[in-house]
Structure formats: C-alpha cells, structure tokens
Amino acid sequence: MRRPGPDLAQGIVTHIDRVEVDPVLASRQYTIYQETLASAGWRVYEVDPAPEHPDAVFVEDPVVVFEDLAVLTRSGAPERRGEVDGVEAAVRRLGLRVARIEAPGVLDGGDVLQVGATVYVGVGGRTDETGAAQLEQLLKPLGREVRRVPLGGVLHLKSAVTALPDGAVIGLAELVDASALPPIRRPAEAEGAHVLPLGGRDVLISAAAHETVHELAGQGWRVLPVDISEFEKLEACVTCLSVLIPDREL
C-alpha cells in the first residue's frame, strides 16, 4: 500500500464530476483499510510516499504481480508514470522478479483482472493493444492466457467488473464488452461491482454496497466492508488501494 499524499484531492477524474475530497477523512479511511487487511492475516508493506503524485495512493495501477513476477506498468495517463519508481524499489526489496511494459505500450494495473489462469485485460482506456500484447508475452512462461476486454465509458476494467474467490465475475456488464468475459452477475448497487478476495472466504468490499454485502454474506462469504468514500470520489474502488502478494515458498 502507499499512503495518500497532501494533494490527493487533485487526483485525476475522467468519467465523473469532480467533488470535494476530505484529505483528513481519506487518511483515516486508508488506515482502517490497512487494519482490515491485517485482520484478515495480511502483513502490510508500505511503499515510500510520492507526495508529488496525487494518485499515488492507487498503488494497484503501477504494478501487477503474478506469482513471483512483478510487472511494472506504463500508465496511459502520462502524469502518473513517475509513480512506478517507488513501487519498483518496493517489489525488489520484497524479492520479486521484475519486468516492465515498454514504450509505446501503455497499461494500468486496474485494467488487469486475474481469474485463475486467465488474465482479462481491459483495452481502450489507459491500456492499449500494445501494452496488452507485451503483458501476454511476459505471462506465457507462467502458463497464463490473456484475453482482451474492450471497455466502454469506464476508467478501468476493474472499475466495471471483478471476481469472487470462486471465479464468479460480478459487475456492470454494460460498461464492457461482456462477450469477452464469463457470465457477469449484476450486483444490487454499483459499488457492489468491486470485490477484493483476501484468501479463503474473505472478501473486501465497499461499505456503500449495503445490499451486496448482505447477499454475499448470505452465500457464505466472510464479507469485510470498508468505507472508502473519499477515494470513490476519485473513481477508485477497493482493489485500487493495495497489491496482494501471497507468501511464496523460498
């Protein structure tokens, strides 16, 4: 994770109107999110702050991790490309192998949805075909299949759809080319399109997704709701604030 900086409120918004962000509340919500991960058994490692980058708290975008491979991205938003340096230092300290998306390709981590051995990549926003093709080549040795998903009026693929631990896809089918994905289960509210599997039956979800929280709990998932209202004002969701790196046998 990476702590929000003082200029968080200046983060990029693309598909929604800008509204005022409370940086004090955002800091509190970040801490609670971090504590929630810890309660589910995760050890939290903080990337060095990047106060010159308002969007740096959304650490999911500069890197995608597959087993022991960290793929450093090249954002389709040029002003975000400087966020990668601190993230690279962090994944190297954690002992991961490092590869990167090279110019002219662009790819954001928020466009990468892993479901088992299949990797869905949203294209048409901050990720292009060149970036997706580079990722595909990097993942072939790991036995991963990359499938492109054309996007509609949405920032990232995971702004529209995510996956439960059993591989079921949940989200807003009208925002993507749904034919490129497995059947999509529609949540009761838009915030319910975003779930972050934490291992076992633990699932992190926005506290704003009241009905979806109840539905998932009724299906036997251990649902951990977190209030991320200030980050949602910047088109973020629960997946944006962390990168999960499962322990590996060394």
Q: What positions carry a catalytic annotation?
A: 156, 240
Cβ-contact 61, 83 below 8 angstroms: yes
Q: Report the alpha-carbon angle 62-66-69, nearest 5.
A: 80
**Longest C-alpha distance within the chain, in Å?**
47
Measure Cα distances from 241 to 39, 56, 74 in Å: 16, 9, 18
Residue 33 dihedral angles phi and psi, to the nearest 5°: -60, -45
In whole angstroms, give the CA distance from residue 230 to residue 222.
24
The answer to whether residues 110 and 57 touch, using CB atoms and an 8 Å cutoff, is no
Are 244 and 42 contacting, i.e. CB atoms less than 8 angstroms apart?
yes
Rounded to whole angstroms, the Cα distance separating 49 from 51 reads 6
Whole-number Å distance between alpha carbons of 250 and 242 = 23
